[in-house]
Amino acid sequence: MIELPRVSVFRKEHFNAAHRLYNANWSDEKNQEVFGLCNNPNFHGHNYELIVQITGTINPETGYVIDMKEVSQLIQKEIIKKFDHKNLNLDVPEFAQLNPTAENIALVIYQKIRATLATNLDLKIRLYETERNFVEFPAH
């Protein structure tokens, strides 16, 4: 059996959101020690850059791995409309009990997109919290 070549396509989006890093099981002093400025009780914000990578084989009929218009619509519906200009701690149900670190935000984004993406496609999320700080999920 001939293995078809796999190709990755990427879609870049951005959203702005506020959050506070905080562990309710810890004292205010420990939260301040561990999270520093990110523990501001009045929250703080980031201009997040999101890169969604989808990998699969090229459909011989369309020439696409996936229609990028479909990818854009999926990201808009599942991520941007729910996260953009929101307070992640207060406005996004997934973070009601989950600390909205960049790592956890990337994981939640992955789960939301993975749930609607065809199973024959692989997914990777890269999320920039700042120009110099970013995370990827999955890590392999």
What residues are labeled active site?
38, 85, 129
What lies within 8 Å, CB to CB, of 38 at 6+ separation is 19, 20, 21, 44
8 A C-beta contact, residue 123 and residue 113: yes
Long-range interactions of 91-99: CB distance < 8 A, separation 24+: 95/19, 99/21, 99/22, 99/23
